[in-house]
Amino acid sequence: MNIVMVGGRRKIDFLAKSLLSKKQHVTMIHDDENYCKYLSRTHDAPVIYGDGSKPYILEDANIQEADIVIALTPYDADNLVICQLAKKVYGVQRVFATVSNPKNVEVFKKLGISTAISSTYIMAGTIEQMASINEMANFIPLEEGKIVVMEIVVQENSPVCGKTLAEVPIPEQAIIGCIIRGVNSIIPRGKTQIQTDDKLIILSPPAVQRKIIKLIVGRDDI
């Protein structure tokens, strides 16, 4: 796949390394000449020095042939224009943008860029959840938080410990999709028994999240 990436420092460096190791064709655009030198020294991929929100620079990067464009600059407005140009002018199918202002995830969506990623947004949600509940080992919001994946560790004193799945009154909208027991992962059925130190992977909308935490942890002091 042909991937064009614009701007960003550690982000572009890290992504380039990861994508190149997967044998993708990567072209990088950056507006800092010294950083361009660094990028081209470090990675075996073309690097273009210039303002990636200018059409002629994008054309230099052969954007017409690109399958994916990723805008990583620190300025949300630049990323918006890069993505809009890629999509509207050059017909790129998939565009991604990072945004520094978490509110802009919604704004980008309304302006036609539905794949804006805000690290602040994701991080804030994760930290908030993980900090509030000890047993929460992981927390991933999907679809702007419309649905969440929780990883909850079952403690000895948990009300569900020792019960089978069928005995646990899980709300209808939620599901225990997987149980991690040691190195094994189990797709649970009604007869599966929940044991101490099991990690439950739960998929639910945020509305019933509290209910589930209370059910498994025994308290809901979020």
Partner 1 sequence: MKKNNYNYIIVAGCSRFGANIASMLSLQGKDVVVLDNDSRSFRKLSPGYSGFTNIADATDIDELTRAGIEKADVVVAATNDDNTNIMIAQIASKIFNVPKVVSRLYDTEKEIVYQDFNIQIIYPSRLSMNEFEKLILTDDMEVLK
- Which residues lie near partner 1 (CB under 8 A)? 53-56, 75-78, 80-81, 84-85, 88-89, 101, 103-104, 106-107, 110-111
CB of 88 to partner 1, least distance (A): 6
Question: d(Cα 188, Cα 186) in Å, to the nearest integer?
Answer: 6
Cα distance between residue 99 and residue 111, in whole Å = 14
Which C-beta is closer to partner 1: that of 32 or that of 167?
32
Taking 3-state DSSP, the helix, strand and coil percentages for the chain, each rounded to the nearest 5, stand at 35, 25, 40
Q: Which is nearer to partner 1, 70 or 170 (CB)?
A: 70
User: What letter does residue 133 receive in the DSSP assignment?
Assistant: -
Token output for 22: 């997967």
Q: Are the beta carbons of 136 and 130 closer than 8 angstroms?
A: yes
CA distance 71 to 5: 6
For residue 7, the minimal CB distance to partner 1 (Å) is 12
- Between residues 89 and 131, which has the closer beta carbon with respect to partner 1? 89
Place of tokens 């960003």: 8
Tell me whether residue 7 or residue 188 sits nearer to partner 1 (CB atom): 7
Both tokens of 56, joined, read 């002629």
The smaller minimum CB distance to partner 1, of residues 104 and 209, is found at 104
* Least Å from the CB of residue 81 to partner 1: 4
Angle at 117 between CA 50 and CA 144, to 5 degrees: 160
Q: How far is the CB of 111 from partner 1 (least distance, A)?
A: 5
CB of 22 to partner 1, least distance (A): 31
